[in-house]
Amino acid sequence: MSEGISGVVNELLVQMQSFDEPTIGSRMRGAVIDLVNRMLPEMKQFKKRPPVSSNILVIGATNRAADLDPALLRPGRFDRSISFDLPSRSGRREIIDYYLQRKAHVPELDREDRRDQLAAITLGYSPVMIEHLFDEALVWALRSNRESMDWTDVHQAKMTEEIGLKQPVEYTDEDRRTIATHESGHAVVAYLVGVGRKLEVLSIVKRKDALGLLAHSDTEERFTRTRTELIAAIQISFGGMTAEELFFGEAGTGPGGDLASATKIAAQMVGSFGMAGTLVSFDAIEPGPVSMGIVGKVLGNDDARRAVERILDRAKGDVRGLLDANRDLVEALRDELLRFDELVGDEILSVLHKAEAARERANK
């Protein structure tokens, strides 16, 4: 494979080198004229055509610039490199305005706050991905015999794009209750500790390998995280497992992905970010014969592994106390999920606010 790629690169370099060289035809024509001119007196000799000068602009594009052969980028070949990053939030907002002018939608999506929310939830999207998101949202609308997409259609389209299509699976009553409790635990912890986070979708509908999910995002576009925010992310990961333990006495196999996510964050805190009592960076370790990421490096060190375990144990203990004191919120969300299968945006907050209001009335 690598030999084939190398051959392509070499051929490209040869072709680029030959742009300013005479063609075979012009060289042969010049040789014939030279031969004839030797047999003619100077006054009757043929004149050679002046070389034709052409301005040739070579443009190349790749989404894997780091893998390019350095020979391609030397001066005299590709002289200028221009990088195009994914659009910022303001850029995405302009792209959203552009495409919504051309696609049928309800008046709600013309509101400034909705447009801003669309820009917020499409972090990491390219212009083509945003266009495809709206196309998919229109498909959802047409399935409901509507000609215009609404906010819920956009959310469903986003879930389809990022996670996968809904899969019609008939859960047992026990499984449905377990999954609803698990996802409600995530949502309640995110609601209580996820400062600056927006709850987007809470679902017990199977999509690919996910039996259910909580989708949440930053209310503002962020590029750095504090230690408090990373701990909150770990706590949110433990919300599902802890809710299962509180309501059923033990957790099932569902939290596997949550544990992996929490472990990765804790390992980065210990080995990369200096947030666990040591300033030693495991990223500084030179790669050996076997490539190993930061998680493998940290967990392969006994002291660092113990530091990871302390972070995880403390976070899980805090979540246990948090959910135990807010069981009513978990129950309220669980019951609504069992009733509707999926809650979107303000629907989640509405359930939580009603449960909090009911608690206040009961305590008076």
Distances in Å between the Cα of 335 and the Cα atoms of 2, 186, 350, 351 are 56, 15, 13, 10
Active-site residue (options: 108, 131, 183, 286): 183
Q: Which amino acid is at 196?
A: G
Give the three-state DSSP class for 158.
helix
**Residue 67 and residue 5: Cα distance in Å, rounded?**
11
Strand, coil or helix: what is 226?
A: coil
Annotated catalytic residue 162: no
Question: CA 189, CA 30: separation in Å to the nearest integer?
Answer: 82
Going by the DSSP 8-state scheme, the letter that residue 102 receives in this structure is S
- Sign of dihedral through CA atoms 215, 218, 224, 226? negative
Residue 215, H or E segment: strand 213-218
Contact 213, 230 (CB under 8 A): no
In order of 27, 244, 352, the CA distances from 248 in angstroms are: 86, 6, 22
Helix intervals (H) in 71-150: 89-100, 112-121, 127-143
Which residues are paired to 213 by β-bridges? 203
Vertex 11, ends 10 and 17: CA angle to 5°?
90
Backbone angles phi, psi at 105, to 5 degrees: -150, 160
Residue 337 near residue 360 (C-beta atoms within 8 A): no
Cβ atoms 183, 210 nearer than 8 A: no
Dihedral of alpha carbons 22, 25, 28, 32, sign? negative
44: nearest Cα among 56, 52, 36: 36
Residues marked as catalytic: 183
